[in-house]
Amino acid sequence: MVLATQSEELVEFDVRTDEMLINMGPQHPSTHGVLRLLLRTDGEIIFGVESHLGYLHRCAEKIGENLSPVQWVPYTDRMDYLAGMNMNLGMALAVEKLIGMQVPEKAVVLRVLIAELNRIASHLVGMGAYGLDLGTFSPFLYAFREREIILDLFEEVCGARLTYSYITVGGVTHDLPANIPIPPGLAMLTGRDPKSTMSWIDACTLFLDWLEKRISEYHTLLTRNHIFIKRTAGMGVISPEKAASYGCTGPVLHGSGIDWDLRRDGDPIYTRMYEGFDFKVIVAPFGSDAPREAVLGDNWCRFYVRMLEVVEAIKLVRQAMAKYPTAQGEYRVPHKMNTKLPKDEVYLETECPRGAMGFYFVGNGDSKPMRARAKSSCFCNLSIAEELCEGVFLADVPAIVGSLDIVMGEIDR
Amino acid sequence: MLNWVRNLFNATFTLLKGMWVTLKVMLATYRRTTLADVFVYPELKVPVKARYRGFHRFDLTTCIGCEKCAAACPVDCIYIDKQKLGGGSKGFRIEGFAIDYSKCMFCALCCEPCPVDCIFMGANYDLSCYSRDGCVVDYAKLPLQVAWGRATLSPSVVAASKVLDQPAWVKGDPNPFASTAS
Amino acid sequence: MTPQQIHELLLEKFQDKIESANLGSLEPHITVKAEAIADVCQFLKSDQRLQMNHLNNLCGVDHLDAKTGTGRIEVVYHMQSYPQRHRICIKVALPRTGDGPNGLPKCPSVTKVWDVANWHEREAFDLFGIHFEGHPKLVRILCDEGWEGHPLRKDYVFPTHYQGMRAN
């Protein structure tokens, strides 16, 4: 990567002037929430970045120490609010490992189905918002058009559109509904009668068929767009060593070429869920798919990992829906709210859309954990931004921060 | 020079391809029915789903005052005011059943432990107030039409509940709708 | 490598610096003396057999005995290796008060080993009051800069007022 400070063109025109401090955020639209970046600039060039976090700090960990794990589930929704289902899943699995609980097959299939559907919704927002950061508006609208249908499907399942609290200790709170009115958005887009009803599985299949055809449109609008490539390829390069040292996980790690997906390499209690599911771990480099300008670990690679993960998630949802009718057991095993947690500890990471979300519980024989820790993936992913943003143009800061796809609710907890 | 031409060509070509996608989407909206054709917001809202977790519905007639919902609430937003019935009859007289909606996060954890299924999540989502006092809804003092499930929660009934200092109905009182039912 | 083998390797290298180990736990962990943690972590990362190149999590845990008012604060390091595909948990036990600034307990920083430890240590300092020696910039990260106390300590008293405003 050629830093702006080393570029010959720049030295020729000499855009450097006086040093200036610029506050980007906490209300800046392209910091994805209430992140405040204190930029030390020299003209157009960034010389130092300091992140200020904590505007959304709710001390969820302290709350978790004063509640039983089941009661803490609604708080995990509010961490990564774009992927509440995945947050619930990680937390529920950690508690189940601690108390040694086995979940029936049907609950497992439902968990995979819902968590992967949420991954699609989350990556759609990540894609749309990244386009918005770089100045294109249409992909954002298209992404929200699709996400709206997923939210409608979630509302049918659990009754909420954002803070689901659906996956809980011992399974999930509801079974899939048998017959639902078709989501209005889906009816409009596929030309169905908006008053008609169908089964939840049919509605989801109809939606996935429709979404699969749209993915090539997103590639035309963003991935293959030359302006987009110029803004992202070769910018914000994270080497594999840096990615590991900075604790990057999820698409950021995959974009740097480290082949590590917790669904395949993680804790046995988590990988067991995905046994029998056929999916591919998306890892850079992409060979002939990548434009000439792209290098391993740049913004474009991270973006493309997300786009391909959507395709993989669609495959996983389809497989889970095929498994659902024959899945054995109940969707939930009873779990009392005041179940005593054993005097032991457990740390479990799950592959959330934004990376590895870890939950660490220390029990002391009481129903409330002695320590409930939520290790945020975005927190680690964001910590590399300070280094990445040094020596780039001011206009590239949103491109770099946006490619990390952060959610401040998870960082500040 | 070659680079410059290729850049220019790529940028124009991919941009036009993107424009073609948006044009197709725009033209498609003229051919299909849109959301606004079917639903007109204030008059005809998009209906909420069957499992929607909106403002609670509470059945004053069956509540036994066991406080299981209040214990399950993660934010402690349910306040139950009760007195022993006495006079030979067991159970409690529910003087007040208040939910502080400035705290409630609609997680539905209160509905699960209820032994008599007297509290569940309703379909109402548009309730607003001008003061923090209006966020506290005392279900025991709501007008009977609402407390007995014959009308939905609205700002005016919440305001009406503020002037009562006694519960609108307690166990043992006659059924206020007995005459209309017969 | 299994946790047992990692434990043996560490015992061989650091002998008495390794205090104890609980390998039968759901999360097998090894407790290390506080002054040796930076060296142990450097060894865990650079040794060819271990190659712990990823720090999953660094956090504090407050073990306060409510009856006696004494106890210890633990710093917990969860780490894993991408090439070797194994993981381990290292713990450090610190007194609740120490000889650091403002009477905080001291612990050597591991920021030189893993870059991600920078923010994790700032968070542990912010919420638990652990002074990490050798940290490049140990300031609060989640709470406000003028915040008093360390909220995740078990004996933390919730403030009734914040900058003149009633807090609850």
Task: Please name the chains neighbouring B, where neighbouring means 3+ C-beta pairs under 8 angstroms.
Answer: A
> Rounded to whole angstroms, how far apart are CA atoms A224 and B21?
13
C26 and A CB contact within 8 Å: yes
pLDDT of B182 reads 45
> Rounded to whole angstroms, how far apart are CA atoms A72 and A55?
21
Task: Report the CATH number that the domain containing residue C98 is assigned in CATH.
Answer: 3.30.460.80
> Total structural domains in chain C?
1
In order of B101, B121, B126, B133, B161, the CA distances from B155 in angstroms are 13, 18, 9, 12, 10
All residues of chain A having their beta carbon less than 8 Å from the beta carbon of residue B18 are 138, 220-221, 225
The model's pTM = 0.88
φ/ψ of residue C92, rounded to 5: -130, 130
**C93: β partners:** C74
A218 pLDDT above the threshold of 70 = yes
Instruction: Tell me the residues of chain A between 142 and 161 that have a Cβ less than 8 Å away from chain B.
Output: 142, 152, 155-160
> Inter-chain contact B15–A70, Cβ cutoff 8 Å?
no
Residue C57, domain extent:
3-147
Spell out the alpha helix ranges (H) of A134-267: 138-158, 184-190, 200-218, 226-232, 240-245, 251-255, 262-265
Amino acid at B141: K
pLDDT of B179 reads 59
Give the SS3 label for residue A374.
Answer: strand
All residues of chain B having their beta carbon less than 8 Å from the beta carbon of residue A180 are 49-50
Burial state string for B126-155 with b = 16 or more CB within 10 A and e = fewer than 16:
ebeeeeeebbbbbbbbbbeebbbeeeebee
**A137: β partners:** none
Percentage of the residues of chain C whose pLDDT score is greater than 90: 7
Q: Is it the case that chain C and chain A have 3 or more CB pairs lying under 8 Å apart?
A: yes
- pLDDT-wise least confident of A168-172, B162-166, B173-177, C162-166: B173-177
Percentage of the residues of chain A whose pLDDT score is greater than 90: 22
A180 and B CB contact within 8 Å: yes
Residue whose token pair is 């789903």: B49
* Number of helices followed by number of strands (H, E) in chain A: 18, 10
Stated as kind and residue range, the H or E segment containing B71 is: helix B68-72
> Rounded to whole angstroms, how far apart are CA atoms B124 and B55?
5
> Rounded to whole angstroms, how far apart are CA atoms A234 and A252?
15
Burial tier of B30 (Cβ tally within 10 Å: 0-12, 13-18, 19+): exposed
List strand residue ranges (DSSP E) for C5-130, in order: 18-22, 29-32, 54-64, 71-80, 87-95, 106-108
pLDDT of A9 reads 59
Pick from B103, B40, B46, B43: which is nearest to B70 by CA? B103
Q: Rounded mean pLDDT of chain C? A: 87
Q: In which band, very low, low, confident or very high, does the pLDDT at A6 lie, cut at 50, 70 and 90? A: low
- Does the residue C124 lie in any domain? yes
Instruction: Tell me the residues of chain C between 64 and 123 that have a Cβ less than 8 Å away from chain A.
Output: 76, 78, 82, 85, 89, 114-116, 118-120, 123
Pick from A40, A82, A47: which is nearest to A410 by CA? A82
A16 pLDDT above the threshold of 70 = no
Residues 6+ apart with CB under 8 A from A142: A128, A214, A217, A218, A221, B25
pLDDT of A2 reads 54
A173 and B CB contact within 8 Å: yes
All residues of chain A having their beta carbon less than 8 Å from the beta carbon of residue B8 are none
A246 and C CB contact within 8 Å: yes
Percentage of the residues of chain A whose pLDDT score is greater than 70: 96
Nearest CB partner across the interface for B32, out of A71, A188, A230: A188
- Does the residue C94 lie in any domain? yes
pLDDT of C98 reads 81
Q: Token digits for A258?
A: 């480290």
Give the SS3 label for residue C50.
Answer: coil
> Rounded to whole angstroms, how far apart are CA atoms A356 and B115?
39
Instruction: Tell me the residues of chain A between 174 and 233 that have a Cβ less than 8 Å away from chain C.
Output: none
- Each residue of A46-73: pLDDT tens digit? 888 888 888 888 888 899 888 899 999 9
Residue whose token pair is 């020299």: A42
- Each residue of A301-352: pLDDT tens digit? 999 999 999 999 999 999 999 989 888 888 888 888 888 888 888 999 999 9
Task: Please name the chains neighbouring C, where neighbouring means 3+ C-beta pairs under 8 angstroms.
Answer: A
> Inter-chain contact A225–B49, Cβ cutoff 8 Å?
no
> Rounded to whole angstroms, how far apart are CA atoms B176 and C70?
61
- Does the residue C165 lie in any domain? no
Q: Write out the residues of chain B at the interface with chain A, using a CB-CB cutoff of 8 A.
A: 7, 10-11, 13-15, 17-18, 21-22, 25, 32-35, 38-39, 46-53, 72-74, 105-109, 113, 121
Amino acid at A81: Y
Strand A171-172, strand A167-168: pairing: antiparallel
pLDDT of A114 reads 92
- Does the residue C49 lie in any domain? yes
Stated as kind and residue range, the H or E segment containing C42 is: helix C37-46
Q: What is the crossing angle of helices A299-323 and A396-403, to 10°?
A: 30
All domains in chain A, ordered by first residue: 13-412 (1.10.645.10)
DSSP B79: E
CA quadruple C134, C139, C141, C145: dihedral, nearest 10: 170
> Rounded to whole angstroms, how far apart are CA atoms B84 and B100?
24
Nearest CB partner across the interface for B33, out of A74, A188, A217: A188
Instruction: Tell me the residues of chain A between 333 and 392 that have a Cβ less than 8 Å away from chain C.
Output: 344-347, 349, 356, 358, 360, 362, 370-371, 373, 375, 379-380, 383-384, 387
Is there a contact between A131 and A137 (Cβ–Cβ < 8 Å)?
yes
φ/ψ of residue A345, rounded to 5: -140, 155
- Each residue of A245-293: pLDDT tens digit? 898 998 999 989 888 888 888 888 899 889 889 888 888 888 788 888 8
Region A369-390: what's the mean pLDDT?
89
- Does the residue C45 lie in any domain? yes
pLDDT of A8 reads 60
> Rounded to whole angstroms, how far apart are CA atoms A75 and A66?
12
> Rounded to whole angstroms, how far apart are CA atoms B37 and B48?
18
- Does the residue C87 lie in any domain? yes
- Does the residue C139 lie in any domain? yes
Spell out the alpha helix ranges (H) of A288-373: 299-323
Q: Token digits for C123?
A: 């968070």
> Inter-chain contact B11–A227, Cβ cutoff 8 Å?
yes
- Does the residue C69 lie in any domain? yes
In order of A29, A112, A132, A150, A246, the CA distances from A129 in angstroms are 10, 25, 5, 17, 24
- Each residue of A115-172: pLDDT tens digit? 999 999 999 998 888 988 888 888 899 999 899 999 999 999 988 888 898 999 988 9
All residues of chain A having their beta carbon less than 8 Å from the beta carbon of residue C91 are none
The nearest alpha carbon in chain C to A64 belongs to C152
DSSP B140: G
> Rounded to whole angstroms, how far apart are CA atoms C120 and A246?
11
> Rounded to whole angstroms, how far apart are CA atoms C148 and A101?
40
Region B46-68: what's the mean pLDDT?
84
DSSP B133: G
Tell which wins on pLDDT, A206 or B90: A206
Q: What is the ipTM of this complex?
A: 0.90
> Inter-chain contact B35–A184, Cβ cutoff 8 Å?
yes
Residues 6+ apart with CB under 8 A from A9: none
Nearest CB partner across the interface for A347, out of C78, C118, C151: C78
Q: Token digits for A386?
A: 């300070």
Dihedral (CA of A245, A250, A256, A258) sign? positive
**Residue from A57, A404, A411 to probe the interface with C (highest C Cβ count within 10 Å):** A57
A285 and C CB contact within 8 Å: no
Region C132-150: what's the mean pLDDT?
86
pLDDT of A15 reads 55
Q: Give Dmax over CA atoms of chain C in angstroms.
A: 57
The nearest alpha carbon in chain B to A167 belongs to B107
Strand C29-32, strand C87-95: pairing: parallel
